[in-house]
Structure 1
Amino acid sequence: MFSFRSPSFATRTLSRVCQQPISAYRVAAPAARSLLTRHFASLEQNPSSSPKRFAHTSASKAPEDSYIKNNLERHASLKDKIVDLGKFIDSCELCMVTTAKGNPPALVSRWFLKLIHNTCFCNFQEQAGVSLIFHTNTQSTKTEHLKDDPRVNISFLKGERGEWASISGDASVVTDRETIHKYYSSTLKPWFGDLDDGVHDGGPDDPRIGVIRVKTTQAAYAIVGDGMLGKDASQFTGSAKDVPRINKLRLLTKEELQEWRDANGTA
């Protein structure tokens, strides 16, 4: 795919077209496309001829991000990272779940509310704490999205403290009644309603009720400890060299998550 890296050439070419009389448009437009195509193709073949957009041409040569340098906990234990993430999620009242729709994909987000403790919203304790469980309407658009692309992102935020989490994973829709009964809560009824047909009543055997199980593939989160700035970092007026820690920034890689699953005997 060509990228528009030489606006001056594109502008000159399109201006040349626009200055043509209307009767010449059908001839000029294809010519402009041909000129632009050849120009961008040459840039792809000779990237050195394209103007530099950033001071750093290689991420490996760029200086380390100061926020990450000051806040990333590189030596936190795997157990602490898993347990603390679970505690943070359990303290949140809602989250945003993002799926991909269409081809090319467009991202679609919707919120999930925690109705009761560890139910309906999510249960992070599934599979030793590395899978998330959500209830869903099997007739909803998100289940259709997941059929085409199982990749999801789930984000959590506690704005009053400046804490957040972003979790990526692969989702599957589960409809077997044993799993539905395991996670069912009567607080689901208002969300599904009763269609008065003896089947679609919002109960545990309502075929519309399903479960989305998200197998976490990677995660990043930030929690605030004692003496850390958290959301008040923007109010700090001292020297940029003396900024206190803002939060505990932690990362969970795919390899770490698999290591945890292996150690706990989960898939």
Structure 2
Amino acid sequence: MSDASKTDRTQDRNWDNEVPLEKKLDDLYALVDGIEVALFTTRRPDGHLVTRPMQVQRRTAGTDLWFMTNIESHKLEELVTDPHVNCGFYKDRTREWVSVSGTARVTQDKQIIHDLYQADWRAWLGDEGGARDGGPDDPRIALVLVEAHSVIYSKQDRPTPMVLFELAKGIATGQQPKVADMRSLDESELQRAAKVEDPRPSSA
């Protein structure tokens, strides 16, 4: 991050840069667990970006994200060409959002698949008979692990009347309203987080 960017964020009243790492992580986990579906962006071989909805699977430790996919999916061809991805989350009711930038890798590790398997995977895979029945041993199942390199998110912890007041004040004064806190996690913070096992129960 450039010095100019740091200065801009320090001056921006929506950036909350004094939040401890543990608090930032707790709020990030709560947002991701509460939204579940990400807009998963990859880059095609021709350079164009493609975004598709994908459901985040049960979180393990740290800030990395797991997704289930079909090994025959075109997105896997895109990840071979360029593993850099972005996962965007948006919570409509509060307008909170999360942007996770990272790199993706694909695995068909049977133990991990069995650990993360959910019955609703059958609906996405379909039952083609035999081993291709959508069960945990279906050879089409692959997991995509997104290893986060940077995260930016907004956190709304103000009551609705205060948010409306801030918006009205912004319209009247021309000043940027403070309706949510903007927070970021850089690579060094994410590496520190990855070394600490999340003590809370994982959510499906």
Band of TM-score, shorter chain: 0.7 to 0.9
Question: 2:141 corresponds to which residue?
Answer: 209
1:194 shift after superposition:
1.1
Q: Do structure 1's residue 153 and structure 2's residue 97 form an aligned pair?
A: no
SS in 2 for 1:168: strand
Q: CA deviation at 1:260?
A: 2.1
Residue 163 of structure 1 deviates from its aligned partner by 0.7
Q: Distance in 2 between matches of 1:156 and 1:140?
A: 22
Would you say 1:80 and 2:23 are equivalent positions? yes
The residue aligned with 1:111 is 53
How do residues 119-138 of structure 1 correspond to structure 2 at under 5 angstroms? 121-123=56-58, 125-128=59-62, 130-138=63-71
Indicate the SS of the match to 1:82: helix
Separation (CA, whole Å) in 1 of partners of 2:109 and 2:9: 47
| Residue 95, structure 1, aligned to residue 38, structure 2 | yes
Residue identity over aligned pairs, in percent, reads: 31
Larger Rg: 1
Q: How does 1:1-267 map to 2 (within 5 A)?
A: 60=4, 64=8, 69-103=12-46, 105-113=47-55, 121-123=56-58, 125-128=59-62, 130-196=63-129, 198-227=130-159, 229=163, 233=167, 236-241=170-175, 244-263=177-196
- The equivalent residue for 2:202 is none
Aligned counterparts of 1:93 and 1:65: Cα–Cα separation in 2: 28
Q: CA RMSD in A?
A: 2.6
What one-letter code is carried by the residue in structure 1 that aligns with 2:172? G
1:47 corresponding residue in structure 2: none
1:229-257 deviation digits (Å, cap 9, x = unpaired): 28x8489532124x552101000001111
Higher relative contact order (CA 8 A, sep 6+): 2
The amino acid across from 1:212 in the alignment is V
Residues 211, 234 of structure 1: CA spacing in aligned structure 2 closer, same or farther, 3 A cutoff? farther
Alignment partner, residue 33 of structure 1? none
CA distance in 1, matches of 2:82, 2:133: 30
1:126, CA displacement in angstroms? Answer: 2.3
SS in 2 for 1:70: coil
The CA deviation string for residues 11-39 of structure 1, in whole angstroms up to 9 with x for no partner, is: xxxxxxxxxxxxxxxxxxxxxxxxxxxxx
**In the aligned structure 2, how far is the partner of 1:184 from the partner of 1:263?**
24
When residues 203 and 229 of structure 1 are mapped into structure 2, their CA distance, relative to the original with a 3 A threshold, is same
Q: Which runs of 5+ in 1 are unaligned?
A: 1-58, 114-120
Structure with the bigger percentage of helix: 1
Cα deviation code 1:177-217 (max 9, x no counterpart):
11110111111111111112x11110100010111111100
| 2-structure distance, mates of 1:157, 1:234 | 23
Partner Cα distance (1:102, 1:234) in 2? 46
Normalising by structure 1, we get a TM-score of: 0.65
List gaps (5 residues or longer) in structure 2: 199-204
Q: Determine if contact 2:9/2:15 at 8 Å carries over to the other structure.
A: no
Q: CA deviation at 1:94?
A: 2.1
Alpha-carbon distance in 1 for matches of 2:93, 2:17: 26
Letter aligned with residue 72 of structure 1? W
What letter corresponds to residue 73 of structure 1 in structure 2?
D
